[in-house]
Structure 1
Amino acid sequence: MLIFGDAALLLLLALFVDALIGDPPALWRRIPHPVVLFGKIVEIADQDFNTPDLTAKQRKLYGTLFLAGLVFCSLLVGVLLEVILRGLPYGRIGIVAIAAVFLAQKSLHQHVAAVRDGLAREGLAGGRKAVAMIVGRDPEQLDESGVSRAAIESCAENAADGVTAPAFWFLLLGLPGLIAYKAVNTADSMIGHKTERHGAFGWASARFDDLVNLPASRLCGLFLALSAPVFGGGIGRTLSDMRRDAPSHRSPNAGWPEAAMASVLGVALAGPRAYPGYKVDDPYMNPQGRRELDASDISRALAAYRWAMAVQAFVVGLVAIAHVYL
């Protein structure tokens, strides 16, 4: 296993590589992305062990056993990779490359920016088309404010579970922690829904994903709060708003970065939303904030995201420096 300070230095390099290169489409057209492989495993398990002839109790048991096996195998793969790479000359370069693959700084920025650009170039139709790629709500019921709000919420939430959380688990447990986290997060995204099909089978994946994302969601909210002065706000005010609003979010984790982002930008996020087949009537994050949003607000959210990721990298750098000199 990587020691804490060593992991911090490698993580700092991985964050830099990911921010610079991201996910090259040419590479992943030739070989499957590891997250795609996780998705195939989850899909097979869903087909084989989540059949209509089983009772809800059986499906819940099978889903729990599947998750346990997935986590165990992911940890094992991570341990083997780390042991092998640490034994090779320049093997730490391989560790940095693998870590960078599982981070999503640049790709998240690109997907959210695509919504802004779609609104700017093609109007509402372009924005709806782009936002449908990153959120699950019904795009046809979104106006310009709704499209912009959805993109900003996605930016905030995925900053936590797409960047801060994998970084946190790599820092704590090295490649085993990083790979196991991404496996759990992929399972949750595919089967962790409160639907008739997945409510029982995906129960364990959803609950465990909530648990492993708990520290990173708070940290990401803190990183966003630390960027507040750049946008004319105060760190203390943003932290206060986040603590007030986040617990009212339907997710135990997504509310923290979303509430922080809402406070930093001075806008209202979340609130009533429409998904295919149903609607939710949730409270707003930062309810006193501006509710009429447009593409310029997405640009401001992306700027806040970049600042928060810079703060995160700075903190990781401090950990690495402390390991060298203390």
Structure 2
Amino acid sequence: MSFIPPLALLLERWLGYPPRLTDAIGHPVIWIGRFITFMEKGVDKRERTPSQRRDAGIFTLGLLLLVTLVVALMVQQLLRSLPFGWVLEILVATPFLAQKELGRAVEAVATALRTSLEAGRESVSHIVGRDPQALDEAGAARAAIETLAESTSDGVVAPWFWLVVFGLPGIALYKAINTADSMIGHMNERYRDYGWAAAKLDDLVNWLPARLTAILVIAACFITPHASPSKAWAAARRDASKHESPNAGWPEAAFAGALGFKLGGPRSYDGELVDLPSFGDGKSALVGSDILRALVLYRSTLNVLLGLSVVVALLVWVA
């Protein structure tokens, strides 16, 4: 049914994934993560050569995707055989989207910063991998906004995109790839070889959604107070390619330009200062209220995405 994607967006944005459900049965991302951890313990042996470890990573990813595809196809076939099974298909698709939880987690940082810097650091530590104790208020605010921008792409737009293209198997496979990348797709000594396939495939499946996200952010500027579509477009074109990821720079630069912020720059990971490029040419001394401005743009972007989803559904239905 062509209207499953917009209805899934609406339902997930309204309800999210209930914490009680997570406590009772877990979450699809948790299940995927456990499978990846189980496979890593079994096949990623340190004494293997780099080539062997890369092959082990390819095997892990391939098996993960095969299992995910089989389960998703079986669930989809079962649901479509039931009366009003499309309603259940919407419910099954919603956990793979992250609109509500992403907004809640980022807003929590703004709320915590109003209490104290320590509270802000604690809150931001739940959504970023950098050292929270090395962050001042501006650093914590930038970290929250950068996470919001990047996750708008890989937590919302990309899973929606693959739901539209390939249905329930598409969104499930995307989430499996993205989870694998977040767990093992790192360029450090431990995962450089074993996580190579996960990182490369994640880059591939996010290539178009990341650029679509930037376009959606630019469009959202027209309905967001004090947001500039022209500056968002200019920053995305100028700065997106600076990012070490071929995709993450697009939404991050678009957010920075739209809001007149300067995001990115040096940050600390495990006590080591990493000099990263900047996105946008606005103010970098951000505060908690700037996170709230970014959230307004985020919610406008979700509205534009919902509108696009309805248009796509109507076109498919008419065709």
Q: TM-score range by the shorter chain?
A: over 0.9
- Alpha-carbon offset, residue 324 of structure 1: 3.3
Q: How does 1:1-326 map to 2 (within 5 A)?
A: 6-7=1-2, 9-121=3-115, 123-229=116-222, 230-286=224-280, 288-326=281-319
Taking structure 2 as the reference length, the TM-score comes to 0.97
- Alpha-carbon offset, residue 248 of structure 1: 0.5
> Which segment is superposed worse, 65-74 or 294-303?
65-74
Structure 2 counterpart of 1:316, one-letter code: S
CA distance in 2, matches of 1:198, 1:321: 44
CA distance in 1, matches of 2:53, 2:218: 41
Deviations 1:223-267 (A, max 9, x none): 111122323344233212201100001111111000000011100
CA distance in 2, matches of 1:48, 1:321: 47
Structure 2 counterpart of 1:199, one-letter code: R
In the alignment, is the contact (CA less than 8 A) between 1:231 and 1:264 conserved in 2?
Answer: no
Q: The residue matched to 1:199 in structure 2 has which SS? A: coil
Deviations 1:254-302 (A, max 9, x none): 110000000111000011111113222122101x210110000000011
Q: The residue matched to 2:188 in structure 1 has which SS? A: coil
CA distance in 1, matches of 2:132, 2:34: 27
Q: The residue matched to 1:211 in structure 2 has which SS? A: helix
CA distance in 2, matches of 1:217, 1:126: 31
Q: The residue matched to 2:264 in structure 1 has which SS? A: strand
In the alignment, is the contact (CA less than 8 A) between 1:188 and 1:205 conserved in 2?
Answer: yes
> Which segment is superposed worse, 301-310 or 45-54?
45-54
- Alpha-carbon offset, residue 305 of structure 1: 0.5
Q: The residue matched to 2:245 in structure 1 has which SS? A: coil
Structure 2 counterpart of 1:37, one-letter code: W
CA distance in 1, matches of 2:206, 2:62: 17
Deviations 1:117-149 (A, max 9, x none): 11012x100000000000000011100000000
> Which segment is superposed worse, 67-76 or 24-33?
67-76
Q: The residue matched to 2:83 in structure 1 has which SS? A: coil
In the alignment, is the contact (CA less than 8 A) between 2:6 and 2:309 conserved in 1?
Answer: yes
CA distance in 2, matches of 1:103, 1:310: 15
Q: How many residues align?
A: 318
CA distance in 2, matches of 1:278, 1:250: 17
CA RMSD, 1 decimal? 1.1
Structure 2 counterpart of 1:126, one-letter code: A
CA distance in 2, matches of 1:276, 1:323: 49
CA distance in 2, matches of 1:48, 1:135: 28
CA distance in 1, matches of 2:6, 2:211: 20
Q: The residue matched to 2:275 in structure 1 has which SS? A: strand
In the alignment, is the contact (CA less than 8 A) between 1:231 and 1:265 conserved in 2?
Answer: no
CA distance in 2, matches of 1:133, 1:236: 33
Q: The residue matched to 2:274 in structure 1 has which SS? A: strand
CA distance in 2, matches of 1:167, 1:77: 19
Structure 2 counterpart of 1:86, one-letter code: R
Taking structure 1 as the reference length, the TM-score comes to 0.95
The unaligned stretches of length 5 or more in structure 1 are 1-5
